[in-house]
Amino acid sequence: MIIATLCGMGFGTSMMLKLFIDDILKAENIKAETTPWDLGSFKGNKADIVVAPVDMEPHLRDYPAKIVLVKNLVDKGEIKEKILRAIDELSHAEGGKTI
Amino acid sequence: MDLYELLVPEAIQAKQELADRTAVIQRAGELLAAAGAIEPGYASAMQRVMDELGPYCVIAPGIALLHARPEDGVLRSCLGLITLKTPVVFGHSTNDPVDLAFALGALDKQSHIRALAQLAEYLSQEGFLCGLREAATTDVLKEFIYSYSRA
């Protein structure tokens, strides 16, 4: 499973998100690859789940992955709940919905 | 590089009164440029990023993490912080208004990551946010943030 985190440039916000998600996955013993993306170049890339700040939603319409939108990017509780739900739903093979 | 090494003391200011997000970005840029950490044009680049990509840089309620690209004039990895006396609207759908504005200059995509991870961790701690918001003067703010990030 590939989990991408998205921001404008691929090394600030998206990197913070990636680091939090790495911690969550490790604690939950879930194996997945996490990768930070930037808005300029992500469309050619493939991921199962894309995690992004809530205001980036317009950029992700029609993108073929499960989309997770986060409001508070330093709220580990929000990130954990949403990412685990997305992984769970994906494992039940029902992609394409926004959380 | 740890957070306390990324922080530029001359670019930390408490309880500033700034009119709007443009003024916040300009001030953050001026402070980092005066410290020799970025070129003066970096502020316009941060403004352009906000105009083009939207206010997603408001990463949490009241907290903005401003930055542009390494090639926009970063001379060394750096982080400034301005706290605002009167919170400023950035245009975010859920996290406005902003009273903590961080400005990051990244020299490349890697060297600041450890410090950024520490910042993200601290920002998830209520005690850190309270300390930043309660600091009434620049000296108190600097003292708090350095002692917190060295602890």
> Which range is most confident: A2-11, B49-58, B63-72?
B63-72
Is B3-150 a CATH 3.40.930.10 domain? yes
Residue B67 annotated among the catalytic residues of the structure: yes
A8, A16, A55: residue with CB nearest B116: A16
Which of B1, B53, B116, B132 is the mutation pick for testing A, counting most A CBs within 10 A?
B53
Residue B8 has pLDDT above 90, yes or no: yes
Q: Is B113 on the interface with A (CB under 8 A)?
A: yes
Domain ranges of chain B: 3-150
Contact (CB<8Å) A72/B61:
yes
B17 vs B28: CA distance, rounded Å: 13
Query: If 0-12 CB within 10 Å is exposed, 13-18 middle and 19+ buried, where does residue A12 land?
Result: buried
Interface of A with B (CB under 8 A): 7-13, 15-16, 19-20, 39, 53-56, 71-76
Q: If we measure between CA atoms, which residue out of A89, A8, A9, A7 comes closest to residue A49? A: A89
Query: Does any domain span residue A97?
Result: no
Q: Band of the pLDDT at B52, cuts 50, 70, 90? A: confident
Query: Does any domain span residue A99?
Result: no
Contact (CB<8Å) B116/A19:
yes
At B110 the pLDDT is 86
Contacts of A54 in chain B (CB under 8 A): 56, 93-94
Contacts of A11 in chain B (CB under 8 A): 106, 109-110, 112-113
Residue A94 has pLDDT above 60, yes or no: no
Name the active-site residue from B67, B92, B112, B142: B67
Which residue range(s) make up the domain with A10? Answer: 2-91
Query: Does any domain span residue A11?
Result: yes
Which of B47, B52, B59 is the mutation pick for testing A, counting most A CBs within 10 A?
B59
Residue A95 has pLDDT above 80, yes or no: no
User: What is this model's ipTM?
Assistant: 0.89
Query: Does any domain span residue A26?
Result: yes
Residue B79: strand pairing partners? B7, B104
Q: If we measure between CA atoms, which residue out of A65, A97, A80 comes closest to residue A26? A: A80
Residue A7: strand pairing partners? A38
- CATH for A52: 3.40.50.2300
At A37 the pLDDT is 94
Full 3-state SS string of A20-71: HHHHHHHHHCCCCEEEEEECCCHHHCCCCEEEEEHHHHHHHCCCCCEEEEEC
User: What is the amino acid identity at position B144?
Assistant: F
Give yes or no for a contact between B146 and B4, defined as CB atoms under 8 angstroms apart.
Answer: yes
Helix, strand, coil share (%) of chain B residues, nearest 5: 45, 25, 30
Contacts of A71 in chain B (CB under 8 A): 94-95
- Domain total in chain A: 1
Q: Is B97 on the interface with A (CB under 8 A)?
A: no
- Name the 3-class secondary structure at A86: helix
Residue A4: strand pairing partners? A35, A50
Residue A68 has pLDDT above 90, yes or no: yes
DSSP assignments along B54-67, one per residue: -GGGEEETTEEEEE
